[in-house]
Chains A and B, each alone.
Chain A
């Protein structure tokens, strides 16, 4: 561990240099503002209720609070810190694996988002002071949060390992869906809710906190300790696997493409497609579509619900669309400049690559629409999908060029600061939502309004492509520095 403490000061220095160089301070400030205001607004009331409930021996509200804290940590761990002193580069030095792991764990606390999560978590544990076993309750809650961090890190490390990555991702997506379902079904009375609630690890903590006898604590404490041992083993194992992964050497990778497009920009679209398929967001975008498709086998979904799902899928894809240069590196950007293409051509190629993937995401819903509601409805949904996508791309091209953020393959796309993300989701969705609302009526005026929205969206997309394209050419130095 001495090696880790030796390296950490350098890690700290390098991290903050990078934050200042890439303008990430703005991101942290807006996270602070947003999470701070949400916490200040919502937490006191929930803390008070959980305190009262725990004092009365009721655990449901604290269970939910703890689960939210666990989810908060999983979200926070999703932030890619891009640490300068990566383990991959440190492993040529005589540094033991455990020191490298200790460095990785301590490096998590470089991020102000993690400081914030720590403060919110400590505040969130305050209601446990009202429980019958305050000390044990707080200790087990801290243990649970440590377990969450361990699981989050293990998953991220396993996704780093190239072999069978898709299978691991599918398992992760399924587990995340179950976790979210557990959160939303808390307090429900159905059999599914109660079985999901029983799987909530937070109940182990609250059982200890409200226990009246030592005997009542044996099962939950044992379960937590066994989980702790398992998570620690998983963490260490996945760390070693990711440390010695041979991903950089796999030259025999299959070069597949979901579509080869003709024309001068065809090969560039092909290359972009291969890049963006490594970003997890787009795969998550398939989940609501698959869920809706599965649901529509038993019930008929209304056109408005299908159109709303199209809008949700676009929002899930937003980080990819808002950061279309994120996967590029300075050498790659220079290569784009060397090619005899304009900035707008490059952005258009990137947009087409996204459009192809999004078309695949939308395809099942559109097919269901045609099957259940007829061809007219299919046409309406194609209009909604096109307007949604073009509006997101129009705004996304501008954000991509003016706020580029580095994204790593096989990770979620780097999100911008929360304010930009919310504003972007609103701007990108507004024309599509307007069309969805207007489609409720079929008067001539409505049709004309929809036509006007379509034309305006196309014009906005074209304008953004030209402006963002020329700005890209002017700002390439700055963008390179941000993505380095």
Chain B
């Protein structure tokens, strides 16, 4: 729960985003306490990534307001950018820089000294098993390497709130385990993690609380621990809200 000295890490009220006639996010209200791993789930195109962009000031809301670390989120708030780390949906890397150059540039932009950036970058690359690829130009890097690079960039400046859009997508099991351990350790140190993922098993083991968004509206927000008490699983709950596609009409598949 928030206190005067430590407000909600993320506090969104009535957040709405429309693009032309399409409403991507409708009246989203949610609060995330500090030091929580919060999972934001939903089917493809339900508004997860748009929500991440709204909460990180990469997109302006049509209505409503969001606060992160007590600061009102706005497009040009540089202080907010220093407080948060973002792993965007599309990695947003620079194709002609090496992985090492990405971290070097990123650390310097967040105001770290060259030495400190280098020291942190080495540790992060080691932890993410990316040391061997440090001189690889991103354009030639594999999908997993790019994802790890983007994750390291989100972490290098030691943010208080982390927004991770699909952090486990395309990551090998060893690195995936390392990332999970790292996120748990961060939560213990009061860093807030807001992540989206489609891998419900990981979410169930990692997150303390989750919200489910369907067609731009949050339909469920609760603690993961409550699932056990309710005698259900995250997958059952998810499919209950998001619906299960009917495969009956695909009877023609396999018959040639």
Contacts and interface: CB of A to CB of B under 8 A. Distances in A.
Contacts of B232: none
A6 B107 CA distance: 11
Contacts of A250: 19-20
Interface in B55-93: 56, 58-60, 75-76, 78-79, 81-82, 86, 88, 92-93
Nearest to A251: B22
Contacts of A96: 76, 78
Residue of B50, B56, B79, B137 contacting most chain A CB atoms (<10 Å) = B137
A60 interface: no
Contacts of A15: 96
A94 B81 contact: yes
Q: How large is the interface on B (under 10, 10 to 19, 20 to 34, 35 or more residues)?
A: 20 to 34
Nearest to A10: B105
Contacts of A244: 60, 75
A18 B50 contact: no
Interface in A87-103: 88-89, 91-97
B94 A252 contact: no
B199 interface: no
B108 A94 contact: no
Contact of A10 (B20, B93, B101): B101
Nearest to A484: B139
Interface string A72-114: 0000000000001110110111111100000000000000000
B78 to A, nearest CB: 4
Interface in A199-255: 244, 246, 249-253
A88 to B, nearest CB: 8
Nearest to B95: A84
Contact of A92 (B21, B60, B86): B86
Contacts of B86: 92
B32 interface: no
Interface string B136-167: 01010000000000000000000000000000
Contacts of A95: 78, 109
Contact of B96 (A7, A18, A89): A18
A92 B88 contact: yes
Given A14-B94, A84-B95, A249-B24, A6 B19 contact: no
Residue of A3, A93, A97 contacting most chain B CB atoms (<10 Å) = A93
A17 B108 CA distance: 22
Given A246-B59, A484-B139, A89 B92 contact: yes
A140 B58 CA distance: 40
Contacts, number: 80
B56 to A, nearest CB: 7
Nearest to B138: A84
Interface in A343-389: none
B28 interface: no
Contact of B76 (A89, A97, A251): A97
B113 to A, nearest CB: 12
Nearest to A254: B20
A249 B59 contact: yes
Contacts of A252: 19-22
Nearest to A97: B76
B97 interface: yes
Given A10-B101, A17-B137, A92-B58, A3 B94 contact: no
B110 interface: yes
A93 B109 contact: yes
A246 B97 CA distance: 26
A469 to B, nearest CB: 27
Contacts of B82: 94
Given A85-B94, A97-B76, A92 B19 contact: no
Contact of A14 (B75, B88, B97): B97
A18 B138 CA distance: 12
Contacts of A89: 92-94
A13 B109 contact: no
Interface in A14-32: 14-15, 17-18, 21
B213 interface: no
Nearest to A95: B109
B15 to A, nearest CB: 15
B191 interface: no
Interface string B108-152: 111100000000000000000000000001010000000000000
A84 B97 contact: yes
B99 interface: no
Given A6-B108, A92-B56, A246 B81 contact: no
Contact of A21 (B20, B94, B96): B96
Interface of B: 19-22, 24, 50, 56, 58-60, 75-76, 78-79, 81-82, 86, 88, 92-97, 101, 105-106, 108-111, 137, 139
Complex A-B, nearest 9 residue pairs according to Cβ-Cβ distance, in ascending order: A252-B20, A14-B96, A94-B81, A84-B96, A94-B78, A17-B96, A252-B22, A84-B94, A93-B109
Interface of A: 3, 6-7, 10, 13-15, 17-18, 21, 84-86, 88-89, 91-97, 244, 246, 249-253, 484
11 contacts: A7-B105, A13-B96, A15-B96, A21-B139, A92-B58, A92-B88, A93-B81, A95-B109, A249-B50, A252-B19, A252-B21
